[in-house]
Structure 1
């Protein structure tokens, strides 16, 4: 009976070792699956990022021309307005200077209004 008991224990130990191997393989398989899933997800993320960056670059290039055109139009309008201001300045400069000098130089002395009331 001791031999059978010893053989039963031996069988149980071997079954336990086999079970440990199966559990270890299952863990390794799970870890490998997780790694594969992560790398697959990273590839999908990279592809999506590249697609969105390409889409954004296309959007930028299609709208960059309009931005430059608008800027050129604004620059032309600004130049036109500056030229108009310069022309008006040149035209009215003498008149304004003459009016200023007349106000400063041609002073008509008169009594203050309070002094007039006293008289």
Structure 2
């Protein structure tokens, strides 16, 4: 009976060692799978980033022409308005200078309307 108990204990110890090995292997497998998942996720993120960058560059390239043509149109319009302003300046310059000089030089002395005359 002692021999049978000793053999049972020995079997239990071996089963416990085997279970510990299985648990250790499961832990290692889990760690390995987590590392693989991280690596795969990083790779997918990098591929997605490259895809979006290419998509953005294509979008930017397709809209650069639109921006350039809009800039050219604005520049032309600005030049036309600038020419109009210069023309108006040239045609009214003499009149404005004459009016300013008349106001400064030709002074008509009179009492201010708020000043009461002394009686």
> Normalised by the shorter chain, which TM-score bucket?
0.7 to 0.9
SS in 1 for 2:29: helix
Structure that is richer in helix per residue = 1
What is the TM-score when the length of structure 1 is the normalising length? 0.83
Structure 1 residues without counterparts, runs of 5 or longer: none
Is the counterpart of residue 35 in structure 1 residue 26 in structure 2?
no
Is the counterpart of residue 54 in structure 1 residue 54 in structure 2?
yes
Matches within 5 A, 1:1-119: 1-110=1-110
Moved over 3 A (4+): 107-115
Structure 2 residues without counterparts, runs of 5 or longer: none
Q: How far apart, CA to CA, are the structure 1 residues paired with 2:98 and 2:42?
A: 79
Question: Across the two proteins, how many residue pairs are aligned to each other?
Answer: 119
